[in-house]
Amino acid sequence: MTRRLTLIGLTLAGAAMVLPAAAPASPPGGPGIAPVKQAEEVIVRFRSDADAQERADARRAADVERESGLPVRGLEVVDPQPGSTVREAIDALERSPDVLYAEPDVPRQAFVRPDDPLFDFQWALESTGQTVAGRGGAVDADVDASDAWEVTADADTVPVAVVDTGVDLSHPDLAPNLWRNRFEVSGNGRDDDGDGFVDDVYGWDFVGGDAQPLDEHGHGTHVAGTIGARGNDGYGVTGMAWNAAIIAVRALGADGTGTASNLLAAYRYAARVGARVVNASLGGPGSSRAEHDVLAGASNTLFVVAAGNDAADVDSRPTYPCAYDLPNVVCVAATDRNDRLADFSNRGATAVDLAAPGVDVASTWPGGRHVLLSGTSMATPHVAAAAALAFNAAPSLTAGQVAALLRSTADHLPALQGLVAGAGRLNAGRLLATAAPLLAPPAGGTDAGEPPADEPDEGPEDTTEPIAPTAPSRSVDRIPPGLALGVPRRRALDAVLRRGLGVNVRCSEACTVRLEVVADDSGPGATLGHGATRLAAARSTTVTVTPTVVGRRRLRGAVPAVRVRAVARDAAGNPRTRLSRRVDIARR
């Protein structure tokens, strides 16, 4: 018997509410926002044991004057004197052994909202309590998109596949953000890239068996717009990602249903052409070993799937692929305007990973239109797009790490307690703020940890062939912790010998960290100093790495620079290794 799947995220009140025509808005950037100025002053932090005379000596040597104090011990604003630049002042200050760091007093300005004229309808991105479809809602019942955009609004380097009913490739809000297969020549009737699909420039249609994954239903176009409608372009709506690379993969027909075999082929295709994220706002009852194996085999790809619209508990009445316990599958429920579980949404304290807004969601519709729709399908692409932004901000993240971050950074809502794992609703701002500085490789650093579990899938190309059986089991934690190191660009030799080298260590979860200082040109074993710390939770701390007797002797010799090598292990013993940037040793 052929298993059929359906889209599970479309709730209509008679018909979809069509939004006003997308007329052009004011120029990008909006009125009244001045250009960002260059920094003119310097923020400096002195060591806690530096007295007033030592601070004054450091300022005098750097040719700066104290402008004001700041409400943190040792922190103050200084003004470079005429003839001295901000950069020169910073370099001079950091040569002092009494200075922890110095940096430009960088400018800030009001964040510019996207100028898309229908943005006010997009309460899921910014909820001010505005009325949409005749209903108001709670302030801040959104995903904090504007906070995420302060980190990045771009995901055009992170292909996102929309496995659905197809996509309106000519929609003005979507056409600029479509993925293009650069290895394929359009319309020449040949399989230029040798992937088995002729002319698959924008994706593939597994229903019609051709390279025209057009949307004959509307569902897929709406999902695509939430992910990546072109943002800040003065037209229509904005996607979570203003710039995106949407791969159109049609696996469902005009009636919104399809077969599991088409769906598995679509999953496989999306992963093989490079999708880091797949949005699958669909599902059905009954597990499939083949589906499980295909998803598990594409472990480099994060699959974000809908929980379903039956107001059921997925833990006791499973819907698939939502209920597969795989580290690269994230299942999404829907919340309403008041940050409660939507009345139609499925739930599951174990199977459902988090929720996202899914009621009266404004997005694209075939024919250049924009409509409001409700469903877990409308919630899912918010999460898929947030994941794409995270991958763009920190490309070294694995699918499993982004899945874990989506859960750990979500807003905890009492109304979701017992309904969604962690009672969490997507917070894209916190996701990006955590992912970008914490897990992106540090400048000049290397990651020598164990290889991620999601190696490229080398299985059979034809998914109808027998696949080695994989018994479903509970996930085993094989994901190493995130680790970042912060060190100064230079330190005075006397300061290192007297006080050691201070290193800011940040871990994404509870972990133990061992550190060693090595000469910049040294191989393993050439250790100059040691340090260690234990973090009880995701946080940062400063660790002093103290030189050994041998290390002191070498530092006094001809060591021009050092680096810090750190190894962090989480509770499961998974290691993550980082090598810091170079720290120049200043000699007087």
What is the rounded CA–CA span in Å between residue 154 and residue 152? 5
Q: How far is CA 199 from CA 210, 220, 266, 504, in A?
A: 8, 21, 16, 51
In tens, the pLDDT along 445-471 reads 333 222 233 333 323 222 222 222 223
**Number of other residues whose CB lies within 10 A of the CB of residue 200:** 26
- Least confident range of 132-146, 248-262, 451-465: 451-465
Per-residue confidence at 217, pLDDT binned at 50, 70, 90? very high
Residue 87 CA to chain centroid, in angstroms? Answer: 32
Domain definitions of the chain by residue range: 4-11+152-423, 42-104, 483-586
What is the rounded CA–CA span in Å between residue 449 and residue 131? 50
Catalytic annotation, residues:
164, 219, 377
Per-residue confidence at 545, pLDDT binned at 50, 70, 90? confident
Structure tokens at 209: 């068996």
Mean pLDDT, rounded, for 344-369? 96
- Least confident range of 33-47, 198-212, 255-269, 373-387: 33-47
Q: Assess whether pLDDT exceeds 70 at residue 436.
A: yes
Mean pLDDT, rounded, for 28-57? 71
Is the pTM higher than 0.85? The answer reads no
Q: What is the DSSP string of 442-501?
A: PTT--B-SPPPS-PPP-S-S-TTS-------------PPPPEEEE--SEEEHHHHHHH-E
pLDDT for res 465? 27
Please state which CATH number belongs to domain 4-11+152-423. Answer: 3.40.50.200
What separation, in Å, do the N-terminal and C-terminal C-alpha atoms of the chain show? 81
Structure tokens at 33: 């926002």
Element (H, E) at 515: strand 511-519
**Number of other residues whose CB lies within 10 A of the CB of residue 427:** 24
Q: Assess whether pLDDT exceeds 70 at residue 417.
A: yes
Q: Assess whether pLDDT exceeds 80 at residue 332.
A: yes
Greater pLDDT, 151 or 290: 290
In tens, the pLDDT along 178-212 reads 999 988 888 899 988 888 999 999 999 999 999 99
Q: Assess whether pLDDT exceeds 70 at residue 26.
A: no
Handedness of CA 255, 256, 260, 265 (dihedral sign): positive
What is the rounded CA–CA span in Å between residue 199 and residue 211? 6
Q: Is 443 exposed, middle or buried (0-12, 13-18, 19+ CB in 10 A)?
A: exposed
DSSP helix, strand, coil percent of the chain (3-state; round to 5):
20, 25, 50
Average pLDDT value for the chain: 83
pLDDT for res 571? 81
Mean pLDDT, rounded, for 258-273? 92
pLDDT for res 466? 26
Domain formed by 483-586, architecture: Sandwich (2.60)
Please state which CATH number belongs to domain 42-104. Answer: 3.30.70.80
pLDDT for res 13? 26
Per-residue confidence at 170, pLDDT binned at 50, 70, 90? very high
Q: Assess whether pLDDT exceeds 50 at residue 473.
A: no
